Amino acid sequence: MFIRIGDMDNVFGAMDLLRNKMDQFLDDFDKSYDYGSGLSFISSGPRTALYEEKDAFEIRVEVPGIAKEDLNITLQGNYLEITGSRTIDAPEGYKVHRSERGTRSFSRNFTLPDGIDAEKVEAALRDGILYLKLPKSEVARPKQIAIG
Amino acid sequence: MNQRNEIAKTKESGIKRASNLKTAIPAVDIYENENEIILHADMPGVVKEAVSVNIDNGTLSLSGVRTLEKKGDPKWEEFGNVEFIRSFSVPQTIDIERVEAELMDGVLKLCLPKSEAAKPRQIEIKTA
């Protein structure tokens, strides 16, 4: 019933090798990934990112080729919804070799933590990325509490 | 006691990339008519200075580097700094001198006109 030390060692050796291979595999996978038809890579819509600063949140959304008029941003309480549609800018009368970008309407929504000052939200569209600045209301900002 | 096979010990010494920048393949649309080939590539967040378009020996390579300023504490990041890179084979009939590129709203638009010699021509049959 005693397992030989040599055998156990071999088992762990194999596990180590498997783990290294998996690490490399996942590394390579991360390094280069297919953006594909950008708007539908993530099934819910375009890629987004959320950053938190001391007194504001910043949301960024990848929306290449979309004009200001095609975007719709609504904020209701702390529920934020971003919708838009991209019209295809294909020239008429050309033969299509490849069409990966797709033409679609998209929608992403977020429930933000409490305390967004809805009056002071700013949005800017630059180089195909939408930047949303959502300042926190007074209540939500971190406060130092002095010990009396 | 410690018998490990040579194979288990060998680490693969692949060539390491110079930078740690992730690469991504931009989505493209390619259109063609008898005068030119048009290519649209999605590269959101890339500015003009960071794009390079090269045509060499029948290969068109696009590269756009996106660097976004870091701001605050990332809670949720589905995209970041990335290099968009893709290459295509183009026919030799493209007139390299007249290629035009435009970057707007994160979309790179390339126009590759075909040289005169390559345009389709009707060949007239003379009766002898």
pLDDT digits 0-9 by tens, A84-136: 888 777 788 888 888 888 766 888 888 887 777 778 889 999 889 999 998 88
Tokens found for residue A41: 């890579």
pLDDT of residue B21: 79
Domain that holds residue A18: 1-33
Give this prediction's pTM.
0.69
Complex prediction ipTM: 0.71
CA trace torsion B67, B71, B77, B82 (10° rounding)? 10
Domain ranges of chain B: 20-68+79-117
The nearest CA of chain A is from the CA of B124 a distance in Å of 26
User: Which of A146, A123, A7, A34 has the alpha carbon at shortest distance from A73?
Assistant: A123
Ramachandran assignment for B72, one of left (phi > 0), alpha (psi -120 to 50 degrees), beta (any other): left
Tokens found for residue A9: 């060692």
Backbone dihedral angles phi then psi of residue B5, each to the nearest 5 degrees:
-70, 150
Chain A residue with Cα closest to B3:
A6
Question: Is there a single domain that holds both residue A59 and residue A2?
Answer: no
Residue A124: other Cβ atoms inside 10 A: 10
Residue with tokens 């989505």: B27
Determine what percent of chain B is predicted with pLDDT higher than 70: 83
Average pLDDT score, chain A: 78
Could you tell me the fold of the domain covering B20-68+79-117? Immunoglobulin-like (2.60.40)
Q: Cα(A103)–Cα(B104) distance, rounded to whole angstroms?
A: 17
> Structurally, how many domains does chain A consist of?
2
Q: pLDDT tens digit string along B56-102?
A: 888 999 999 998 888 788 887 888 888 999 999 988 888 888 899 99
Chain B residue with Cα closest to A36:
B27
Question: Is there a single domain that holds both residue A2 and residue A75?
Answer: no
Residue among B31, B68, B81, B100 with most chain A CBs within 10 A, to mutate: B31
Determine what percent of chain B is predicted with pLDDT higher than 90: 31
